Structure 1
Amino acid sequence: MKTSQIAALAATVFIVSACTSTPKVNVRQPGDRNLSCAEIQSEFDSLDNVQNEAEDNQGVNTANVAAVLFFWPAAVGNYMDADRAMDLVEERRAVLMDLYEAKSCDA
């Protein structure tokens, strides 16, 4: 009895760990208008990191393979979560680009 409970617990932990979570960005953030050109550029760099993580979470990785093998809806959820994160990154990038241009940062 104990062995089967331990095995069930281990399987549950494995399945739950198969889900990935990509950080989400807020499209508009308090203080955006006060950002300097250098800070806006730093925000662009941070967005690149989030975008890369989201792309990694959409591709073939350990979590997604485990999700497909043991609980395929988790793989779909991982993909959709990463897709939403990438959409938010693009929206945030557009907001920052508007600020960048309004402040004539490339001048």
Structure 2
Amino acid sequence: MLSACATPHIVETTKLNDNQLTCEQIKSEIAEAKKFEQEARAERKVTGKNVAAALFFIPALFATYANTEEAIDAAKERQEKLTNLYNKKQCG
């Protein structure tokens, strides 16, 4: 039953090698973080999986929401940190 819950990927907001990234790599990392944010937002929408979780296991619905919120927040924070790094390196 718990496997029916949404489990979007929660990105690391900072990676050890971030400062060594090139401008193009930073842009790629920002795009990837945006993709993860979009996927997490999609998990929040009403789907058959979410409806089933709500019908059979109400706490699973709350876990799904909390998990997607954490994934969205992490992706947004990653994007912000990378954008700051991009600007600091005077890319673009």
Q: Does 1:65 align with 2:51?
A: yes
**TM-score under structure 1 normalisation?**
0.81
SS at match of 1:29: coil
Structure 1 CA distance, aligned partners of 2:2 and 2:48?
Answer: 13
Find the counterpart in structure 2 of residue 37 from structure 1.
Answer: 23
**Segments of 4+ moved more than 3 angstroms:** none
Which segments of 5 or more consecutive residues in structure 1 lack a partner in the other structure?
1-14
What is the one-letter code of the residue matched to 1:20?
A
Aligned sequence identity (%): 35
Answer 1 or 2: higher relative contact order, Cα 8 Å, separation at least 6: 2
* CA-based RMSD: 1.0
Does the 8 A contact of 2:34 with 2:79 survive in 1? no
Number of residues of Structure 1 aligned to a counterpart in Structure 2: 92
Q: Which has the larger radius of gyration?
A: 1
SS at match of 1:17: helix
Q: Does 1:98 align with 2:64?
A: no
Structure 2 CA distance, aligned partners of 1:68 and 1:43?
Answer: 34
Structure 2 CA distance, aligned partners of 1:80 and 1:103?
Answer: 35
Structure 2 CA distance, aligned partners of 1:64 and 1:25?
Answer: 22
Find the counterpart in structure 1 of residue 37 from structure 2.
Answer: 51
Find the counterpart in structure 2 of residue 19 from structure 1.
Answer: 5
**TM-score under structure 2 normalisation?**
0.94
What is the one-letter code of the residue matched to 1:51?
E
Which segments of 5 or more consecutive residues in structure 2 lack a partner in the other structure?
none
